[in-house]
Amino acid sequence: MAPTARDDAVSPGSDPVVEAIFDAIAATAPTIRAELPHRRVESDAAENPSGETVMAGDLYADELLAEALSAVEGVGSYVSEERQEALDAGEDVSEDAYAVAVDPLDGSSNLRSNNVMGTVVGIYDAPLPASGQHLVAAGYVLFGPITTAVIADGDGVREEVVEPDPDAEHGVTRSVVVPDLELPAEPTVYGFGGRVPDWTDPFREYVREIEDELKLRYGGSMVGDVNQVLTYGGIFAYPALRDAPDGKLRLLFEANPIAYVIEQAGGAASDGASRILEIDAEGLHDRVPLYVGNTELVDRLETSLADD
Ligand code: AHM
Ligand code: MG
């Protein structure tokens, strides 16, 4: 079915524009994956808007996704971790088109060491910057040993395997392998970013408790580490640091989409004090501390930080 303009009467889980956006993202996945071996080096570009080194893979994925997503009917703007400004896709987001926010290659520093990484996407029904209350769907592609997509579209969370298929309409098949992903009730893993000496004292105290209960699983890519939490239960954080109180991750491209997925899977997402999805965004590249996972673990984290 050709993508159609957004129809406000449809329920979130059956919105054809949302489906067309995920089709477009899935369609780029095999191409991005195939090009990664040739793009493991730093790009010639200056730093990205967050002041970070840009890998050739980041730029390649960004260009491909910008082209694919801005061609979807019903997408009004494309906003990316790799671009200072929104790309106007020709439709009006303040009317009925969507703004799509993308981290094209989350965890791209893992390119050199050949560890997992992925593409993160949030679909908003308001011009960006806006709060996560405007998300209508979110998800990510994970480039692990298998290419998977985890999608939350207002109708629960599902995991799909994405495979190239030249005969398929979008050049890929998407096979649902877990139709109703929920965080396991008994959490087993944790993974926290940043250097331990840079963590705040109350966060360190919380970690000491958690270490006694869960096992460490940290790979340096938010999507990979969050996917472990989603699979085994537990908590992932890129916390506030002593000299970086807003942490590292970006609200629009990383924290909000992951918060949306984790909440729909039955968990919680916090900046340490408040729900991530209720934070007002001021700029496209705002950063925010992120603590996500089983609700009980996130609640305890909030209590530990508040007791400080
Ligand atoms: P990126 O989007 O530029 O790859 O940066 C985000 C990544 C996250 O995937 C990960 O959680 C974090 O940076 C790890 O940072 P660090 O290597 O500084 O611990
Ligand atoms: Mg990222």
Separation in Å, CA 120 to CA 71, 101, 142:
18, 8, 9
DSSP H helices in 238-294: 256-264
pTM above 0.85, yes or no: yes
For the chain, 308 residues long, give each residue's pLDDT as a single digit of tens: 333 344 444 455 689 999 999 999 999 999 999 999 998 888 887 788 888 888 889 999 999 999 999 999 999 999 999 999 999 999 888 889 999 999 999 999 999 999 999 999 999 999 999 999 999 999 999 999 999 999 999 889 999 999 999 999 999 999 999 999 999 999 999 999 999 999 999 999 999 999 999 999 999 999 999 999 999 999 999 999 999 999 999 999 999 999 999 999 999 999 999 999 999 999 999 999 999 999 999 999 999 999 76
CA 224 to ligand 1: nearest atom: 9
Q: Does the CB atom of residue 13 touch ligand 1 within 6 A? A: no
The neighbour count for residue 99, using CB atoms within 10 Å, is 25
CB of 223 within 8 A of CB of 142? yes
Residue nearest to atom 7 of ligand 1 (CA): 107
DSSP 186: S
Structure tokens at 102: 């993308």
Rounded CA separation 222/193 (Å): 9
Q: What pLDDT is stored for residue 154 in this prediction?
A: 87
Distance 193 CA to ligand 1 centre (A): 8
CA 108 to ligand 1: nearest atom: 4
Distance 54 CA to ligand 1 centre (A): 12
Q: What pLDDT is stored for residue 196 in this prediction?
A: 96
Residue nearest to atom 4 of ligand 1 (CA): 107
The answer to whether 248 is annotated as binding is yes
Q: Does the CB atom of residue 193 touch ligand 1 within 6 A? A: yes
Q: What pLDDT is stored for residue 1 in this prediction?
A: 35
Q: Does the CB atom of residue 220 touch ligand 1 within 6 A? A: yes
Q: Does the CB atom of residue 184 touch ligand 1 within 6 A? A: no
Distance 167 CA to ligand 2 centre (A): 32
Positive or negative, the Cα torsion across 31, 170, 26, 121?
Answer: positive
Rounded CA separation 27/53 (Å): 27
DSSP 107: T
Per-residue three-class SS string for 124-170: ECCCCCCCHHHEEEEEEEEECCCEEEEEECCCCEEEEEEEECCCCCC
CA 107 to ligand 1: nearest atom: 4
Cα–Cα nearest to 171, from 182, 180, 179, 162: 162
How many Cα atoms sit within 13 Å of 189 on the Cβ side?
18
What residue ranges in the chain does DSSP mark as E strands?
75-80, 87-88, 98-106, 117-124, 135-143, 147-152, 157-164, 172-178, 189-192, 215-216, 234-238, 268-270, 290-293
CB of 212 within 8 A of CB of 248? no
DSSP 252: I
Spatial neighbors of 153 by CB under 8 A, at least 6 apart, are: 12, 13, 15, 18, 19, 22, 136, 137, 139
Distance 92 CA to ligand 1 centre (A): 32
The answer to whether 103 is annotated as binding is yes
Q: What pLDDT is stored for residue 53 in this prediction?
A: 82
Q: What domains, with CATH codes, occur in the chain?
A: 5-178 (3.30.540.10), 189-306 (3.40.190.80)
Structure tokens at 129: 């910057």
CB of 295 within 8 A of CB of 185? no
Rounded CA separation 275/164 (Å): 37
Q: What pLDDT is stored for residue 13 in this prediction?
A: 63
